[in-house]
Amino acid sequence: MRVLDGRPRDPGALARKAGAAQIDPQAKADLIKEFRHGVLVGLSEVHRLPGGKQVKQPIGRLLLEVLRGRENDVLRFAHDLNVPPTSNQAERDVRPAKTQQKISGRLRSERATEHRYAIRGYLSTAVKHGRNAVAVIHDALLGRPWMPPGPATP
């Protein structure tokens, strides 16, 4: 998200509102430049520890390396207006169940909770892609799980 006039602006939201097929090319170039610069600055600040793979590296360094290698995935929202710039919706999808669990005092094992949220996330993603939730569950149980489309290439 860019900051203009002191307020954040989502170039994807602005493009959708204007009915454009893509975000402004200059805004897209700025986002990519800012992302790359931020990753490079971070990598210069958080150094790898000597010792290769035998030494556990700082989590910040590992994250920066993943970001550097997955630029197209991280910036997919800049190339595809159907992709939101945040994962807030995915977080909102699991929040009601977590709130209900806390209110009712219903505690389950960590493993059961992980499975439950994996299923909820799978269903939420499928529905966002226009799939019928019951059909997706049915197909998955029959060994034909639905998979979301692969990453878009810019």
Banded pLDDT at 99 (limits 50, 70, 90):
low
Under 8 Å between Cβ of 15 and 22: yes
Under 8 Å between Cβ of 126 and 136: yes
Cα separation, 120 vs 125, in Å, equals 9
What's the full length of the chain, in residues?
154
| pLDDT, tens digit (0-9, with 9 covering 90-100), for 108-127 | 677 777 887 888 888 888 88
2-22 in b/e burial notation, b at 16+ Cβ within 10 A?
Answer: eeeeeeeebbbeebeeeeeee
| pLDDT, tens digit (0-9, with 9 covering 90-100), for 52-94 | 778 898 899 999 999 999 998 888 888 888 777 776 766 666 6
The pTM of the full predicted model, rounded to 2 decimals, is 0.53
Top pLDDT among 89 and 107 is at 89
